[in-house]
Amino acid sequence: MSATTAGAAPITDVKEYANNTATEYFVDADANKYNAPYYRDQDEDWGYAHGAVAGTFNSIVLEISAFDVDLDAGELDDISIFDGTSWVSVGSLGGGNDIWAFSTFDLTSFAWAQSQVNAGLQVRMDIDRITDDLGWMVTLGKSTLSLDGGDQRCVPQPGVPCGSTSRVPEPASMALVGLALSGFGLRRLKSKASAK
C-alpha cells in the first residue's frame, strides 16, 4: 500500500482487481462474477485494506460494489472495519439478486475513522453471517474510500475504470464562452468607435 498525502483536494482510494493482493478477491471482469475464487460462500470470508491516506477529512465514505446480494431473501453479508483495537460492524451489503450495486457506509461519525484512514482502512466481510446453509454467495467488484467527497466517480461493475470528478468544459461550452467573449470585444470596439 502506498501512502497518499491529502491536501485541500478531495481524494478517492479504489481497491479492485488491478491491485488485489494474494488474499483479496475482487473480480477482474463481469464475465467472471460466478467463477471461483471470486464468487464466495459463507466459509470463504475475506478482507482487504485501502491505501494509507494522510490528512484530516470532514467526510469519510466507504462504498462496496457487490454482485448477487439476496438481502430481501435473508442474505446478510456483514461488513466490519478495524478500529485499531477490534473489528466493528458497520452494516451489511445491500443490493439485490443478480445485480451489481454499491452499498454505502458513512464512517464520518466514528471517532477512530480518521486514524484508520491515515493508517490504511482495513475492511472485512463475513459472507452469509447467519450461516444457515442456504448457499448464499457474493462477488465483490470494487471498494471506494471517498474522502471529502472524493475525486473519482465509479460504477459498481468491475473492469470499468473510475472517472475524475473534475469538471472539464465540453468543446461546445468552450465555443459558447469564446463567442460571448468575442461579442463583448466587438461591442467594446463599436462603442469606442462611436465615441470618436
DSSP 17-28: GGG--TT----S
pLDDT at 60: 98
* Higher pLDDT among residues 111 and 189, named by residue: 111
pLDDT at 195: 58
Query: Is pLDDT of 44 > 50?
Result: yes
Count other C-beta atoms under 10 Å from residue 71's C-beta.
18
Residue carrying C-alpha cell 482487504:
48
pLDDT tens profile 128-167:
988 666 789 999 999 999 999 999 999 999 999 999 986 4
Q: How far apart are the first and last CA of the chain?
A: 69
3-class secondary structure, 33: coil
Query: Is pLDDT of 177 > 50?
Result: no
Q: What is the mean pLDDT of residues 164-185?
A: 52
| Residues in contact with 91: Cβ distance below 8 Å, sequence separation at least 6, in sequence order | 78, 79, 103, 105
HSE value, Cβ hemisphere, 13 Å, CA-based, for 182: 6
E strand spans, the chain: 4-5, 11-16, 46-49, 53-54, 60-67, 78-82, 87-92, 100-106, 122-126, 139-147, 152-153, 163-164
Count other C-beta atoms under 10 Å from residue 108's C-beta.
12
Torsion angle of C-alpha atoms 125, 129, 131, 135, degrees rounded to 10: -60
3-class secondary structure, 5: strand
pLDDT at 165: 80
Domain 4-165 has CATH 2.60.40: no
Query: Is pLDDT of 92 > 60?
Result: yes
CA distances from 168 to 94, 108, 148, 159, 175 (A): 33, 29, 20, 24, 13
Banded model confidence at residue 120, pLDDT cuts 50, 70, 90 = very high
Q: Domain spans of the chain?
A: 4-165, 167-196
Query: Is pLDDT of 183 > 60?
Result: no
3-class secondary structure, 114: helix
